Structure 1
């Protein structure tokens, strides 16, 4: 009985080590990304004046990385909370230990130890999100320029052009952008035509509906108040939560 109690303590310490280590790595990466984003924000006007498209691409990539890191943090904490709940439920079960003095770590899957540990940080997934933001930025840049030229704001009546921009953005660019996102992610993850079809069938329409709930109000503010050089960074900054949602949606469909 004493040996079993000792093993429970050691196993609990090992689980705490695993639970603490993974979110810590996520947090460190998040802080590094935020430091880079802060640096870009401090020099944004200078960079934009010299190379507007490249500045937008780099900014989009960094903010996309922040969003995916937030999503991975959420997943890690969820996994940790779920496993702790399972451990609490099963804490009354006694464990028979044969060679406690050897102090060997549990085998994979033993006591649910390694089998249920939180997921490690996915650097490939982070790279995919940063690459998507990087390469999507020139398209956004051209699109926002088109909207500003097609529907210029006037002092006499600025409201009508804003609503026209929002309507065009939501009914033309938003469906196109989401299609690009899910297509790119599926192909980058190694999926084929079947995986892509399933992705569109399962998550595209629900995500598009969620888009229509959030983004019209954001874009009204964006087109009405924000100067054009800051419109894409503003969208990307507000979009950290949205991109984190997309990341969670995309990864949950994979599982």
Structure 2
């Protein structure tokens, strides 16, 4: 696992968006394969549908960079750490030291992608000016991140998912409309029961570069659900 994380981090530094594409594509494919294997073992499916897995792979690849950009947007606009008393919380650019010798003039692309989060003094306390503790994290800002994610991005990404799958399946306009109408709200309501708790932990504890793949790893079960739901509705 450590080797996988090192490989991911190394590739993220060089090609962040491509790395997000590949990682998200692979993980969503795993989710669909898992769902289909469960269906085969239970007798619900008669044959493995490779085309369906490829549709999930394409969707995952297309959503990886969007997920990375969205997480950076949340990081910049809803900073979890508060400034010292008397110091305003500004949206200053984070200065990232270049870790690669010989490239002092050019930061790795992954580092540039992560720049832009609010920067506060190291060891800054909350309003007391004491040492950094867990109390420094703003619960209100964390709640805003989760709310923005669940009421902003989640409904949009679900619509994109259903619409994209319909296009990749070759459905006509009427079939696409029916697929979205019959699946959108039921899936979204289940989403709101599952993801807010996970995203609270993800936004709070996971570094920015790992949030999309961590979400996708946890989302393998969610992809199984989507695969089963969408697969059954198109059968």
| TM-score, length basis structure 1 | 0.68
Q: CA deviation at 1:152?
A: 1.1
The answer to whether the Cα contact below 8 Å between 1:61 and 1:131 also exists between their aligned partners in 2 is yes
SS at match of 1:43: helix
Deviations 1:33-59 (A, max 9, x none): xxxx99743411111111111111110
Give the drift of 1:193.
Answer: 1.2
Q: Is 2:211 aligned against 1:231?
A: yes
Moved over 6 A (4+): none
1:126 aligns with 2:44: no
Q: Please tell me whether residue 177 in structure 1 is matched to residue 139 in structure 2.
A: no
Q: Please, what is the CA RMSD of the aligned residues?
A: 1.6
Is the 1:68–1:247 contact (alpha carbons within 8 Å) kept by the matching residues of 2?
Answer: yes
CA apart distance, 1:121: 1.6
What CA distance in whole angstroms lies between the structure 1 residues aligned with 2:3 and 2:38? Answer: 25
Shift of 1:180: 0.3
User: Secondary structure in 2 aligned to 1:119?
Assistant: coil
CA distances 1:179-229 after superposition (whole Å, capped 9, x unpaired): 000000011001011111111221110000000000000100001111101
Q: Counterpart of 2:31?
A: 67
Summarize the alignment of residues 1-255 of structure 1 with structure 2, pairs less than 5 Å apart. Answer: 40-79=4-43, 118-154=45-81, 156=126, 157-255=137-235
How far off is 1:119 after superposition?
2.0
Stretch of structure 1 that moved more, 240-249 or 37-46? 37-46
Residue 171 of structure 2 aligns to a residue in which SS?
A: coil
Return the alpha-carbon distance in structure 2 between the equivalents of residues 42 and 74 of structure 1: 31
Describe the SS at the equivalent of 1:152. Answer: coil
Structure with higher helix content: 1
Q: Count matched residues.
A: 182
In structure 1, C-alpha distance between the alignment counterparts of 2:57 and 2:6, rounded to whole Å: 20
1:178 touches 1:208 (CA, 8 Å); kept in 2?
yes
- TM-score norm. by structure 2 comes to 0.74
Partners of 1:119 and 1:135 lie apart in 2 by 29
CA distance in 2, matches of 1:220, 1:67: 22
Contact persistence 1:40–1:59 (CA under 8 A): no
Q: Quick one: structure 1 residues 188 and 48, their matched pair in 2 at CA, closer, same or farther if it must change by over 3 Å?
A: same
Query: For residues 52 and 25 of structure 2, what CA distance do their matches in structure 1 show?
Result: 13
- The aligned counterpart of 2:121 is none
Per the TM alignment, residue 65 of structure 1 is displaced from its structure 2 partner at its CA by 0.7
Query: Considering only CA atoms, is the larger Rg found in Structure 1 or Structure 2?
Result: 1
Task: Indicate if the aligned counterparts of 1:186 and 1:196 stay in contact, CA closer than 8 A.
Answer: yes
Give the Å deviation of 1:231: 0.6
